[in-house]
Structure 1
Amino acid sequence: MNPLELITRYYDGCSTGDVEAMTATLHPDVVHWFLAPNVGSAPVAGAEHLARYWRKVQARIDARWVVDHALVGSDEAVIEWTMFWRPPGGSERVATRGAEWFTITDGLIREIRSYYQQREHTTELDAFDYAARGYSTAGAEHSTLHRPAG
């Protein structure tokens, strides 16, 4: 499996809350680093712990992640993604745009460094034409690169 397939499978597991699907893509010693001051910005370590963390998040906010763009090497990848989700008590889904740096060891995700700010409203680049570039958009929670499971 190439790194992009590995990463999209990881996000498919995140989007469905499937712990087994996520752990199948994660190195046992994986560490996920988060940008502070987001809620829950402390690093999460260990494949099982990280998978259960995302299962809880997915269930709580009805999240779906889409890989929109990727630069991929043999043991590293940088992606842009969108997380579509529902703020607590809200009826409308919002989009959080972000970027992550992945390292891969022995064919598994070893490290994730995540760069985004999560707000209870859509956050994205001002005036960037997401649709024209094949990125996911409101009402179309998929990109030309990734059609998530679920």
Structure 2
Amino acid sequence: MNATDVIAAYYEAFNAGQTDRMLELMHPDVEHHVNEGQIRKGREMFRAFNAHMSASYRETLTDMVIMAHPSGNRAAAEFVVNGTYLKTDEGLPPASGQTYILPAGAFFTLRDGLISRVTTYYNLADWMRQVGG
């Protein structure tokens, strides 16, 4: 698979709730740079992050645009997050099933045909306004 195919498969797995498939597309030494958070290193940290997110949020990504560098080792995606806030996340407003629509993007590095870095960005203040206001 080329870089665009890998990223498309990653997001198809995300939308299908197939977190194990997402992990298969990750390099064992993956670095996950979370918006407003710490860098998580390795597949197990990514697995734990996904479990937490699945418990607290239900999200589907739409309007996906994927771009890749011709070298195949870097890519980016822009999309819209359509979500429901299911369970209160520490330090955030109380969850009561609020819905949100949030533009977001991600940047990737690929190594050996697998995702070795993913950095996700979205406007946290916009999300807070939508769920906490």
Distance 1:11 1:96 in 2: 16
Compare 57-66 and 25-34 and name the one that shifted more.
57-66
Q: CA–CA distance in 1 between the matches of 2:12 and 2:47?
A: 12
Matched residue, 2:120: 114
Distance in structure 2 (CA, Å) of the matches to 1:9 and 1:17: 12
How many Å separate the matches in 1 of 2:49 and 2:58? 14
Taking structure 1 as the reference length, what is the TM-score of the superposition? 0.67
SS of 2:11 mapped into structure 1: helix
Change (3 A) 1:101 1:23: same
User: How far is the alpha carbon of 1:67 from its aligned partner?
Assistant: 5.8
| Aligned counterpart, 2:101 | 95
Check the 8 A contact 2:79/2:103 in 1, yes or no: yes
How far apart are the structure 2 equivalents of 1:9 and 1:2? 11
Match of 2:75 in 1: 77
Q: Percent identity?
A: 22
Kindly indicate whether residue 8 of structure 2 is the aligned counterpart of residue 8 of structure 1.
yes
| Alignment partners' CA distance in 2, 1:14 and 1:33 | 17
Q: Secondary structure at the match of 2:50?
A: helix
SS of 1:98's partner is strand
1:34 and 1:114 in contact (8 A); partners too: yes
How far apart, in 2, do the equivalents of 1:67 and 1:45 lie? 29
TM-score, length-normalised on structure 2?
Answer: 0.75
Q: Is the 8 A contact 2:7 2:66 kept in 1?
A: no
Q: CA RMSD in A?
A: 2.1
Q: Which residue of 2 aligns with 1:140?
A: none
Gaps of 5+ in 2: 86-94
Would you tell me which structure has more helix in proportion to its own residues?
2
